Structure 1
């Protein structure tokens, strides 16, 4: 018996807006939505695909009443594929992300940012040729 990592849930105040932000960041699309949850992904999961092999997880943005109060214990890392890390940081700032200091210190090879609702994520080294 085994399990698969199928979704990462992100609590938020505005699932539609946060899903739209992350769709732009990751080039994902909305694959399911309800009144309180918007799910995005790079593919549309089927039970058969999930059972056959480990597939990339989707992101589910879930409406919650409370706000974020502390640094995330779990966060997303992204790696640019078409340009430099600096170019990607500039693009993400234009989408509504902000740079944040979580005590990472100077001289790191990654940039810590926050999405429009304050969830931290890191922009890692570029994978561009």
Structure 2
């Protein structure tokens, strides 16, 4: 039994507003939930959702993960940047050099993302969301490769990347130095069990597998959008080897 990547989750002060921003930037369908949450649906059944959940934790430093959006031409890159600015994004300076071709922006909640220049070979054929680029060690890249059973598509100079066997967005880790965490991550992974694994025993077996790979159960107060740690109804809250929060949910 192997968990699947169900969603990339954002803790947001205004989930519905942030979801509308990303829906407009990505051109994807928006689904609003009954509890103030919202989600952007994947373009096909093999992709992941992007979920926006209520979270009031104050922002402390940069996020440990951000999206890299791809471009097919200079004009396409300019259109993406212009659309993001029109929807409420803004330019930010994270130390990028003038000669670098990517554009660094922040969404209305301050979450960083990049619009990559055309011709990036590493992100070729990944789709519009080329990568979720993460700060992290080589060890955590290996962990997620085993956890998701996604192959490593990059493993050089302490940098790693994984990609679904079906293709699509890559998840990358930049290697050391990794800045210490100063609070709960605002972006985190939500895994789901296979559709036929719907019992508590099934979930505990998968949690035990993830622990054997290097994960730990989260303590109370990890701040993954619920205000609680450990088990939260249908979700088990956990930490990967770098201390990043993630959750395992029942199917459905």
TM-score, normalised via structure 1 length: 0.80
Q: Which residue of structure 1 lines up, in the alignment, with residue 35 of structure 2?
A: 35
Give the match for residue 65 of structure 1. 56
Q: Is the 8 A contact 1:19 1:61 kept in 2?
A: yes
Judging changes above 3 Å, is the alpha-carbon distance between structure 1 residues 36 and 25 closer, same or farther for their aligned structure 2 residues?
A: same
Aligned equivalents of 2:10, 2:102: Cα separation in 1: 22
**Is 1:6 matched with 2:3?**
no
C-alpha contact (below 8 Å) 2:25/2:80 kept by paired residues:
no
- The CA deviation string for residues 15-46 of structure 1, in whole angstroms up to 9 with x for no partner, is 110000001011111235132321111348xx
Whether 2:98 is the aligned partner of 1:106: answer yes
Greater length-normalized contact order (CA 8 Å, ≥ 6 residues apart): 1
Change (3 A) 1:118 1:92: same
SS of residue matched to 2:56: coil
SS of the aligned residue for 1:87 comes to helix
C-alpha deviation, 1:100, in angstroms: 0.8
| 1:75 corresponding residue in structure 2 | 66
Does 2:78 correspond to 1:86?
yes
Stretches (4+) displaced over 2 A: 80-84
Task: Name the CA distance, whole Å, in 2 between partners of 1:40 and 1:87.
Answer: 21
Aligned residues: 118
User: 1:121 aligned to 2:113?
Assistant: yes
- Distance in 2 (CA, whole Å) between partners of 1:56 and 1:32 is 19
Work out whether residues 71 and 102 of structure 1, in 8 Å CA contact, stay in contact via their aligned partners in 2: no
The answer to whether the 8 A contact 2:15-2:53 is kept is yes
User: How far, CA to CA, are the matches of 1:6 and 1:81 in structure 2?
Assistant: 27
How far apart are residue 87 of structure 1 and its match?
A: 2.7
- Residue 123 of structure 1 and its aligned partner are, at CA, apart by 0.5
Q: Residue 97 of structure 1 aligns with which residue?
A: 89
Gap regions ≥5 residues in structure 1 = 50-54
Which TM-score applies when normalising by structure 2?
0.43
Aligned residue for 1:35, secondary structure, equals: coil
Q: Distance in 1 between matches of 2:16 and 2:32?
A: 11
Give 1:109 shift: 2.0
